[in-house]
Amino acid sequence: MRILKEKKPLDKLYTRRNRYDLQPDYQRDKVWTKDDKQKLLDSILNEWDIPKVYLHVIDEENYEVVDGQQRLSTVYEFYDSEIELSDEYSKKFGGLTYEDLPDKIKDIFDDYELDLVLIEDAQESELKELFARLQLGKALNSGEKLNAIHGNLRNFAKEIIETNFFKKTISLKNTRHSHLSIAGQLCILGIKGVENLKFKDIKSLFSSNINFNKNSVQGKNISEILNFLNKSFSDNSKIFKNKASITTLFSLLNTMKNNNFNLSKKENQTKISKFYIEFLEQLRIEIEKGSKSKNPEFVIYQSNVTQGADSITALKKRLSIVRTKLVSKIPEFQKYFELLDNELELIELKRKETIKSLSDELIEKIVGINTIYKADNNIDLFKNTNENLKGTLKISKPITDSDNFKTLIDSLYKFIYEGSGSLSRIPNELLLDDSIFFDIKHLRTDFFHDIEHGKETKIKSKQEIIIGIYQKYTGKNAIEELEIGDLIRFQKSMYKNLLTELEYLRTAIKSA
């Protein structure tokens, strides 16, 4: 194993970000908070040292990020103006995104050189030891954990990684069973369709399909798509540089196959391979333009490769962009998406209309309560602040993932709980024992505070309360168990319960 060291400015790392795989199977589970990210950005602008980034060299242009995933993700987010500087750490530029900064300050950020450690010619045993040390003893990665699961679906996934498609067209090395994770993601797509592709989702699928029959309809479906990919890209060695490019194309083909796309037709194999090779090349060119890129679709696509690539939200965004490009290039392929598009558009429209209608009703109800309360008390019961007003925009949209749900709970907390002075302006006798106001408070505590702190009896009590809330609305025990349908139902149920309780409050105040 050879260890090399070099420095690279941040702007170059950003423009070539498609070369760095941020989600290999050596990644840590911890995700940085916004505060963590803002501290890093402030350190860079102050030109302070930050820890090295360790890269496993795949070839001359492709790298796996062994350690430093969160640092690079934060840099990319700042360049994409997805996070602003903190008022706490940067008095002069607090609240500004990269786009808003003066050119002189942008130059400081662009020119900051990150220390890189390049790992070349490493044996698997050497990598295993290095990765374990970097991750503070977390020796097993997701691929190794999946390999430890016994069952027919795990065995089928292991057969998948022995196909020519994996051996000849994927540039990611199969170090520490990393290909098994990709095969597991393809199994999710082939069996369940567009879903979250995270480790816990693969583990759940493997564990629940120990008697999987590879000759079943689903097994044959996966094999047929892989056979199509192998024939389509047989002469294009190592074209797939990251997991996202594989899962996106596989999911696209799965949708088309379900709408009668002929996988055995040679002409279709040629058209798909030519299109996708051109798409990936155009993506590379646009990404390397950095902020000068004039094609926002490619920027959005890459953002959903480097950040949260295994989430259902990121996958859907990538799919939407690739489908649009494909149909623009080959119009006759539109027929393989029409049924899906119409169905999804109707569902999405219905969701948006329902949530918007319920949120509008909530706001009207609160305005009505404020009018009655202010007449006697010269103050609104639910005070409007800038944060509250921002929250009204957020609660009017359907939630699509756990991050959206976290934002929703935070908005409702500020709007309802903080808006009422932590419920101090609501008479105690009007607060029901099972009030949804308390549900919102407990959920926000679960998201934003460490409920594991304190005496064991209190910790257990807090955990039981949180589990009880999830069970009340979804029948499940935790946010990690909720799928998109559960989240939407949770959101609608909360709004309906809020409306019921607000009406009870309005009636009581009016008659007082």
pLDDT digits (tens, 9 = 90+) for 146-160: 877 888 999 999 999
Under 8 Å between Cβ of 83 and 77: yes
pLDDT band with cut points at 50, 70 and 90 for residue 187: very high
Length of the chain counted residue by residue: 512
Does residue 378 sit in the same domain as residue 465? yes
Assess whether pLDDT exceeds 50 at residue 144: yes
Whether residues 154 and 181 fall in one domain: yes
Please check whether residues 388 and 489 belong to one and the same domain: yes
Q: What is the pLDDT of residue 154?
A: 92
Among residues 173, 221, 203, 215, which one has the least CA distance to residue 21? 173
pLDDT tens figures, 89-120 = 877 888 899 988 998 999 999 999 999 999 88
Which amino acid makes up residue 40? Answer: L
Q: Which residues contact 505 (CB under 8 A, 6 or more apart)?
A: 369, 426, 430
Confidence class for position 341, pLDDT limits 50, 70, 90 = low
137 pLDDT tier (thresholds 50, 70, 90): very low
pLDDT at 82: 87
- Token pair 């908005």 is found at 411
Q: Is the pLDDT of residue 340 over 60?
A: no
What is the DSSP track for 118-139?
A: EEES--HHHHHHHHHHHTTT--
- Angle, vertex CA 444, rays to CA 440 and CA 450, nearest 5: 140
The residue from 336, 369, 394 where one domain ends is: 336
Query: Sign of torsion, CA 170 312 269 152?
Result: positive
The domain of 488 spans 342-511
One domain, residues 283 and 395: no
d(CA 322, CA 319): 5
Give the range among 353-357, 388-392, 484-488, 493-497 with minimum mean pLDDT: 388-392
Task: Let me know whether 363 and 331 are in one domain.
Answer: no
Gap between the Cα atoms of 82 and 37, Å rounded:
11
Q: For 431-452, what is the mean pLDDT?
A: 81
What does the mean pLDDT of the chain come to? Answer: 85
Residue type, 409: I
Name the packing angle between helices 152-160 and 217-232 (round to 10°).
10
Cβ-contact 131, 141 below 8 angstroms: yes
Sheet holding 20-21, edge to edge: 2-9, 113-120, 53-57, 63-67, 20-21
Which helix (H) or strand (E) covers residue 55, if one does? strand 53-57
Report which of residues 127 and 164 the model is more confident about: 164
The pLDDT-based confidence of 457 (bands split at 50, 70, 90) is confident
Note the pLDDT of residue 138.
46
> What is the count of structural domains for the chain?
3
235 & 357 share domain: no
Cβ contact 286:293 at 8 Å: yes
Structure confidence at residue 484 as a pLDDT band (50, 70, 90): low
Beta-carbon contacts of residue 171 (< 8 Å; ≥ 6 apart) = 58, 59, 62, 238, 239, 240, 241
Confidence of residue 29 (pLDDT cuts 50, 70, 90): very low
Of 336, 361, 394, the residue at which a domain comes to its end is: 336
478 pLDDT band (50/70/90 cuts)? confident
Name the burial class of residue 332, with classes exposed (0-12), middle (13-18) and buried (19+) by CB atoms within 10 angstroms of its CB.
exposed
**pLDDT in the model for residue 475:** 81
CB 495 within 8 A of CB 408: no
CA distances to 20, 236, 272 from 277, rounded to whole Å, are 19, 9, 8
Q: Are residues 168 and 315 in the same domain?
A: yes
Residue 10 pLDDT class (50, 70, 90 cuts): very high
In this prediction, residues 258-264 reach a mean pLDDT of 92
Average pLDDT, integer, range 241-258: 93
Phi, psi of 294 (to 5 degrees): -105, 10
Q: How confident is the model at residue 26 (pLDDT cuts 50, 70, 90)?
A: very low
What does the alpha-carbon distance between residue 4 and residue 502 come to, in Å, rounded to a whole number?
64
Please provide the DSSP assignment of 264-281 as one string: T-HHHHHHHHHHHHHHHH
3 state SS of 396: coil
Instruction: Note the pLDDT of residue 273.
Output: 93
User: Is residue 172 located within the same domain as residue 312?
Assistant: yes
pLDDT at 236: 66
Where a domain ends, among 134, 161, 191?
134
294 band by pLDDT with thresholds 50, 70 and 90: low
SS3 (DSSP) at 52: coil
> What residue type is assigned to position 114 of the chain?
L
Pairing state between β 53-57 and 113-120: parallel
pLDDT digits (tens, 9 = 90+) for 113-123: 999 999 887 76
400/497 same-domain check: yes
| pLDDT surpasses 50 at 139 | no
Cα–Cα–Cα angle for 464, 468, 469, rounded to 5 degrees: 125
User: Looking at the structure, do residues 106 and 151 belong to the same domain, yes or no?
Assistant: no
pLDDT in tens, 372-423: 999 989 999 988 777 666 667 788 888 877 888 888 999 899 888 888 989 9
Per-residue pLDDT, averaged over 462-473, amounts to 88
Element (H, E) at 506: helix 484-511
Q: What pLDDT is attached to residue 372? A: 92
Q: Whole-angstrom Cα distance, residue 315 to residue 360?
A: 31
The pLDDT tens digits for 192-224 are: 999 999 989 999 999 899 899 999 999 999 999
Query: Is the pLDDT assigned to residue 41 strictly greater than 70?
Result: yes
- CA distance linking residue 78 with residue 302, whole number of Å: 14
The beta-strand segments (E) located in 301-433 are: none
Give me the mean pLDDT over the 464-470 stretch: 89
Give yes or no: residues 242 and 381 share one domain. no
Residues 320 and 354 in one domain: no
SS3 category, 114: strand
Token pair listed for 241: 């540089």
